[in-house]
Structure 1
Amino acid sequence: MHVNPIDVTLGSMRADAVRNLDAVLRTGARLLAEDPATSMSTIAAEAGVDRRTVYRRFPTREALLAAVFQAKLDSSERVLDEARLVEAPVAVALHRYVETIIPVSRQWPVDTRRMMRADPAASARREQQSARLDRFVQRASDEGLLRPGIPVAWARATLDHLVDTAAHRFPGLDPPQAADLVVDTLLNGLGGR
């Protein structure tokens, strides 16, 4: 499992420093998702910390963005582990995955395509996580939960789109409700029978 240097550092930090770092990362994720050119000063002000505090931890916007990407990857990895994609029944694992990845997507709304261009190590981690989901969707197909003839890549793209839609276009939907809708849509479709 990947050990995040931020997690190691957090273990030795004072509680207020941990809160400040967390506020900077979460605020940075939100503001940089809205506008990739957001200044460090704006992020610091919005996070309620001094600009020097931000620059001490992250000398550049790219360094902050790299830390945000690592936080998102760490959260996503925990979701994949806890969903038990290999061991649990497919429908249970799918619901568990969707219910827990939606808050991660909302909390860390940065574009992973940008991450993949900017950070080769983060890109490799993201590819490993993506491969785990690909294998899971293949398992769903192999076990007959997807209609025969549906390409696995199409089902995976649909899952990603449904999760993104639930997380960002319907922010008022709580994660269990969103998971119910995503799983039902993916496994049963929208058409009447």
Structure 2
Amino acid sequence: MPPSARNRRADARRSREAILDAATRVLDAEPDAGLGAVAVAAGVTRQTVYAHFPSREKLLLAVAERLTDRTAAAMDAADLDAGPAADALVRLLDAAAREAERHPVLTRRISTVPVGPEADRDRHAPVADRIRQVIERGRRDGEFDDRLPVGWLVAATITLAHAASEERQAGRMDGTSAGDALRTSLLRLLGAS
């Protein structure tokens, strides 16, 4: 590949990253901001934004993917293989909640972007995989009940985590109470010993 082509690709990657960084900041501060505001914050033209993301929804989905990757990395840093599975699950959920709290407005906005069931499943896959890993370990070690299907337990965990976040964001529960309710509900659902 000629050096000029490599330079163009490197420039395109830098532009894309700058756009995603700017979109995360701008849309978290002002969820209805237009792509022009994102372009200004990224230091690129509107045309450059559209070249990478042909619509606002595509940009939001790319931001969602990036935030999901960051959440998965935070979960991995929680050392999911250490200690009892119940403790690992709590650490995993706490790590995910901390990441979601970094961009609360944007996280809520992304959840309203209409996607089909397959796209939603794909979006949650990195998080679901880590939850599944901990639940399966807990079942193997006899910490968790094995009567309910693992897939159901993973889906219920994600749904309960979203519910705790929504309660906290709506001001119906403070962060500590929402976290405690989530942990208690999950451990009961899992039949934790």
Same fold? TM cut 0.5: yes
Q: 1:58 aligns with which of 49, 71, 96?
A: 49
Q: How many residues align?
A: 165
C-alpha separation in 2, matches of 1:165 and 1:58: 33
Q: Paired residue for 2:3?
A: none
Aligned pairs (5 A) from 1:26-175: 26-28=25-27, 39-41=34-36, 44=37, 53=44, 55=46, 58-59=49-50, 60=54, 61-106=56-101, 107=103, 108-109=107-108, 110-111=110-111, 114=115, 123=122, 126-171=124-169, 172=171, 173=173, 175=175
C-alpha separation in 2, matches of 1:141 and 1:187: 12
**Unaligned regions of 5+ residues in structure 2, if any?**
1-9
Q: Paired residue for 1:24?
A: 23
Distance change in 2, residues 1:31/1:103 (3 Å): farther
CA shift digits 1:43-78 (9 cap, x unpaired): x2xx7x569857265223255224302321221222
Distance change in 2, residues 1:27/1:186 (3 Å): same
One-letter amino acid of the counterpart of residue 69, structure 1: A
SS of the equivalent of 1:85 reads: coil
Distance change in 2, residues 1:153/1:137 (3 Å): same
- RMSD, aligned α-carbons: 4.1
Is the deviation greater in 161-170 or in 95-104?
95-104
One-letter amino acid of the counterpart of residue 88, structure 2: A
C-alpha separation in 1, matches of 2:114 and 2:79: 26
Distance change in 2, residues 1:26/1:88 (3 Å): farther
C-alpha separation in 2, matches of 1:115 and 1:103: 27
Deviation at 1:30, TM superposition (A): 8.0
Q: Paired residue for 1:180?
A: 180
Q: Is the contact made by 1:76 and 1:104 (CA closer than 8 Å) also made in structure 2?
A: yes
TM-score by length of 2: 0.61
Distance change in 2, residues 1:83/1:167 (3 Å): same
TM-score by length of 1: 0.61
Identity of aligned residues (%): 24
Distance change in 2, residues 1:97/1:56 (3 Å): farther
Larger radius of gyration: 2
C-alpha separation in 1, matches of 2:45 and 2:100: 23
Q: Select the structure with the greater relative contact order (CA < 8 A; seq sep ≥ 6).
A: 1
Distance change in 2, residues 1:85/1:65 (3 Å): same
One-letter amino acid of the counterpart of residue 115, structure 2: R
**Unaligned regions of 5+ residues in structure 1, if any?**
none
